[in-house]
Amino acid sequence: MDLKNRASNNKGIAYALMITSVVLVLMMIAGLTMLLNQGKVINISPLLFYKIMTLHGTGMIGIASLGGVAILWYFLSKYIYLNSKIFFANLTFSLIGVVMILIAIFGFNFSDAWTFLYPLPSFSAKLNGKTGALLFLFGLLILGVGYLVVYFYLAARLIKEYGGLGKALGWDQIFRGKKGYGPPSAAVASAMVVIANSVGILAGATAIVESIINIIDPNITFDPLAAKNLTYAFGHIFANCTIYMAVIAVYEVLAEYTGRPWKSNKVFLIAWNFSTLFTLMIYTHHLLMDYAVPEWMLILGQIFSYANGLPVMVVTAYGALMIVHKSNIKWDFASSMFFLSMFGWVAGAVPAIIDATIVVNHVMHNTKWVPGHFHTYMGMGVIAMIFGFMYYFNKTEGTQKQNEFDKYAIFTYFVFFVGLVGSFLYAGKISVPRRWAVHFPEWTGTDQFGALCAVFIIIAAIIFTVRFFKGLSTVGKQSTPKSYKSAS
Amino acid sequence: MYQTIAWYATLFFVFLISLAFSFVFGESKRLKDYAPIQEKGYKIRKYYFLCLVAILGLSAAISLTKLPYHSQTAEAASNLKIVNVTGQQFSWNLSQDTFTVGDSVEFRVTSKDVTHGFGIYDPNMKIIGQVQAMPEYTNTEYVTFKKAGTYKILCLEYCSTGHHLMVKDIIVKPKGGK
């Protein structure tokens, strides 16, 4: 790879990580504010609560995706040439989209959440005016365009390097009897994300365009159930792909630290092919309480949601345990975060699978059980991977060293995150609904406990962020920069 | 019941996962060749995979036998009372809101405006069932009231800034009582 492009890629990744770390802390503070209000520690208006909720959801999912793309880009560019201009294009689209979304929320009171269900935005437009709703929807569209640019470019590069997306997913090894290992894990995971997320974003864009048309001309209407299918196809796939991008760091870094290569053998490749298929299929577990959906689709939603747990439990997490076992690994910030992130991912899959059981969903859907499970694998999974990568980036591209603060910060982050998600899951057990600005008195104990945990999580995240920014100043100051293999 | 099962099943399996991670972490400072670890690991993985498939398969087989989509989940299904429910920002409109213990009810749920969630809470504020209230569609929820008291309908699908105001009481009287 030419050094100029690598430096430019690193610059883009550093910018993305800087934005990610700051936004993460801000969104955590938004989450804490909601918990404090639900716990009646502070008192904000319901409108402000729902605006913060919209910001928190959109911001967290957006920033997890940006952090995930940064990880994917960094490691994939070790194997194939990636033009940094594309990465910067996505950053630019993202920033424009974010500004529009912020104006929509705080300038025009848009508060319909990031997984708004058609025709909610047009009803909000009648209440608060069309401008806010349209700004939010067009902002989301622009964000989507940025990611599509990245994914289409990655698709083109993977096709050029490996001869097709199927080949990048190891179809030669799986179906055509080719001996040996498949492409590097970074390429396999990238191919999966390109396929799944492109479909997801196009589904989401369709739902957004439907809402835009309906706002501009309310006489043109669409089927709300079809729109809901599109919305959850997008939401589910987009959220899942954040972890499938971020896990590339786990494959690469644990292999490096243990000196045990994480090769893409046949089982690994089959697992990623099933992950691709299941991720596209199982969004119907979000519609289990829509009885108008054909019953067979809902039953498949349950069965394939169960099956979707297998690739991570049997291949990725198990592989991480195997590679670390008796490896004399050096535990530092990066390796600790990546190891613990695998725990977060698998632990989060358990309540997620349970919630995908139709009879359970019947009494737990849209309770706090739902944020309980997705905060487990987002907060202790994806976000832990992103924080771990921030340290790894500074250490590899600069000279950052671990200090005592880091250990305590990691301990604090995970212990209190267990407390936070425990409070959410317990709230789900006692039937506390999600997304309620005002809670009944019997529910506030779980909110207050969650808020207390969130305070410590935020302190840990601030330490991570400050340490990242300090470490960033060392990037590029290595005496001997690492050399990379590659590529056309 | 399902809430309790979900809670303890989660605690149990997450505890097992914690044990696995703690064990590997504890052993991580030792050094051994990777090849024998891989060989043994792959053998164990086969049994682990089969075990997971068995647990998930059994759970699916048991749980799919009693889906909430059918009226047989309500006892005395032949005496169903039909109640029409309409959600709209930010209230519930029910064609009947007073019942007697033992009544089996078919709630036919729809919405006049945006999507809502029709969630029924028993007198202990525990969800006993729910269904989506969607414009242009009618979803049915079957409930048999087993104890007397004040039940509540809460909106369980975010429907804008008055979402938390969508609460409606249902009175269930004891048999023979007033």
Please report the ipTM that was assigned to this predicted complex.
Answer: 0.94
Answer whether residue A484 is part of any domain.
no
pLDDT of residue A479: 55
Tell me which residue has tokens 């590997």. Answer: B24
Nearest chain B CA: its distance from A353 CA (Å): 9
Q: A326 and B30: CB-CB below 8 Å?
A: yes
Q: B137 and A366: CB-CB below 8 Å?
A: no
Domain CATH number, residue A131: 1.20.210.10
Backbone dihedral region for residue A129 (phi beyond 0: left; psi -120 to 50: alpha; all else: beta): left
Nearest chain A CA: its distance from B177 CA (Å): 29
Q: A362 and B129: CB-CB below 8 Å?
A: yes
3-class DSSP assignment, residue A129 = coil
Q: B17 and A117: CB-CB below 8 Å?
A: no
Closest by Cβ to B161, choosing from A47, A359, A433: A47
3-class DSSP assignment, residue B110 = strand
* Distance, CA of A81 to CA of B116 (rounded, Å): 48
Tokens of A398: 């600069």
Q: Which residue in chain A is spatially nearest to B143 when comparing CA positions?
A: A362
Q: A362 and B2: CB-CB below 8 Å?
A: yes
B81-88: strand order across its sheet: B91-94, B81-88, B104-111, B139-144
A392 and A401 Cβ atoms separated by less than 8 Å: no
* Distance, CA of A216 to CA of A9 (rounded, Å): 40
Q: How many CA atoms lie within 13 A of A387 on its CB side?
A: 33
Q: How confident is the model at residue B99 (pLDDT cuts 50, 70, 90)?
A: very high
Tell me which residue has tokens 């048309």. Answer: A213
Answer whether residue A488 is part of any domain.
no
What residues in B contact A353, CB-CB < 8 Å? 56
Q: Which residue in chain B is spatially nearest to A109 when comparing CA positions?
A: B161
Closest by Cβ to A327, choosing from B7, B28, B41: B28
B149-155 and B167-173 strand pairing: antiparallel
Nearest chain B CA: its distance from A159 CA (Å): 32
Phi and psi angles of residue B151, each rounded to the nearest 5 degrees, phi first: -90, 160
For residue A413, the surrounding DSSP H or E stretch is: helix A404-429
Q: Which residue type is seen at A110?
A: F
pLDDT of residue A487: 38
pLDDT of residue A102: 94
What one-character-per-residue DSSP string does B130-176 give? EEEE-BT--EEEEEE--S-EEEEEEE-S--STTGGG-EEEEEEEPTT
What residues in B contact A113, CB-CB < 8 Å? 158
What residues in B contact A215, CB-CB < 8 Å? none
A305 and A285 Cβ atoms separated by less than 8 Å: yes
Tell me which residue has tokens 């390429």. Answer: A187
Q: Which residue in chain B is spatially nearest to A316 when comparing CA positions?
A: B45
What residues in B contact A368, CB-CB < 8 Å? none
pLDDT of residue A485: 42
* Distance, CA of A237 to CA of A191 (rounded, Å): 14
* Distance, CA of A54 to CA of A124 (rounded, Å): 13
For residue A254, the surrounding DSSP H or E stretch is: helix A224-258
Structure letter (DSSP) for residue B99: E
According to CATH, what is the number of the domain B71-173?
2.60.40.420
What residues in A contact B14, CB-CB < 8 Å? 347, 350
Look at residue B75 and tell me whether its pLDDT is greater than 80: no
3-class DSSP assignment, residue B121 = strand
Helices (H) and strands (E) in chain B, counts: 2, 9
Closest by Cβ to A291, choosing from B14, B21, B139: B139
Closest by Cβ to B37, choosing from A314, A322, A347: A322
Answer whether residue A80 is part of any domain.
yes
What residues in A contact B151, CB-CB < 8 Å? none
B87 and B131 Cβ atoms separated by less than 8 Å: no
A345 and A305 Cβ atoms separated by less than 8 Å: no
pLDDT of residue A405: 86
pLDDT of residue A482: 54
pLDDT in 10s for each residue of chain A, 488 residues: 578 888 899 999 999 999 999 999 999 999 999 999 999 999 999 999 999 999 999 999 999 999 999 999 999 999 999 999 999 999 999 999 999 999 999 999 999 998 889 999 999 999 889 999 999 999 999 999 999 999 999 999 999 999 999 999 999 999 998 898 999 999 999 999 999 999 999 999 999 999 999 999 999 999 999 999 999 999 999 999 999 999 999 999 999 999 999 999 999 999 999 999 999 988 888 888 988 888 898 999 899 999 988 998 999 999 999 999 999 999 999 999 999 999 999 999 999 999 999 999 999 999 999 999 999 999 999 999 999 999 999 999 988 888 888 999 999 999 999 999 999 999 999 999 999 999 999 999 999 999 999 999 999 999 999 999 999 988 877 655 554 444 33
Chain pair A-B, CB pairs under 8 angstroms: 212
Q: B2 and A360: CB-CB below 8 Å?
A: yes
Q: Mention every residue, 6+ apart, whose C-beta is less than 8 A from residue A222.
A: A118, A119, A210, A213, A214
Structure letter (DSSP) for residue A104: I
Closest by Cβ to B3, choosing from A302, A342, A364: A364
Q: Please give the C-alpha separations between residue A174 and each of A264, A272, B61, in angstroms, as whole numbers.
A: 11, 11, 30
3-state helix/strand/coil string of chain B: CHHHHHHHHHHHHHHHHHHHHHHHHHHCCCECCHHHHHHHHHHHHHHHHHHHHHHHHHHHHHHCCCCCCCHHHCCCHHHCEEEEEEEECCEEEECCCEEECCCEEEEEEEECCCCEEEEEECCCCCEEEEEEECECCCEEEEEECCCCEEEEEEECCCCCCCHHHCEEEEEEECCCCC
What residues in B contact A47, CB-CB < 8 Å? 161
pLDDT of residue A488: 33
Query: What is the b/e burial string over B16-34, where b = at least 16 CB atoms within 10 angstroms of the residue's CB?
Result: ebeeebeebbeebeeeeeb
Q: B60 and A343: CB-CB below 8 Å?
A: no
What residues in A contact B4, CB-CB < 8 Å? 429
List of E strands, A127-191: none
Domain encompassing residue A137: 3-472
Structure letter (DSSP) for residue A376: H
For residue A103, the surrounding DSSP H or E stretch is: none
| Chain-centre distance for alpha carbon A403 | 28
Nearest chain A CA: its distance from B145 CA (Å): 15
Nearest chain A CA: its distance from B43 CA (Å): 12
Tell me which residue has tokens 């409930």. Answer: B143
* Distance, CA of A165 to CA of A168 (rounded, Å): 5
> What is the 3-state composition of chain B as percent helix, strand, coil, each rounded to the nearest 5?
35, 35, 30
Instruction: Please tell me the total count of domains within chain A.
Output: 1
Identify which of A14, A160, A143 has the alpha carbon closest to the alpha carbon of residue A82: A160
Q: Please give the C-alpha separations between residue A104 and each of A55, A129, A277, A339, in angstroms, as whole numbers.
A: 10, 11, 35, 39
Of residues B66 and A29, more confidence is placed in: A29
Tokens of A231: 């919305």
* Distance, CA of B178 to CA of B167 (rounded, Å): 24
Look at residue B100 and tell me whether its pLDDT is greater than 90: yes
pLDDT of residue B177: 66
Answer whether residue A155 is part of any domain.
yes
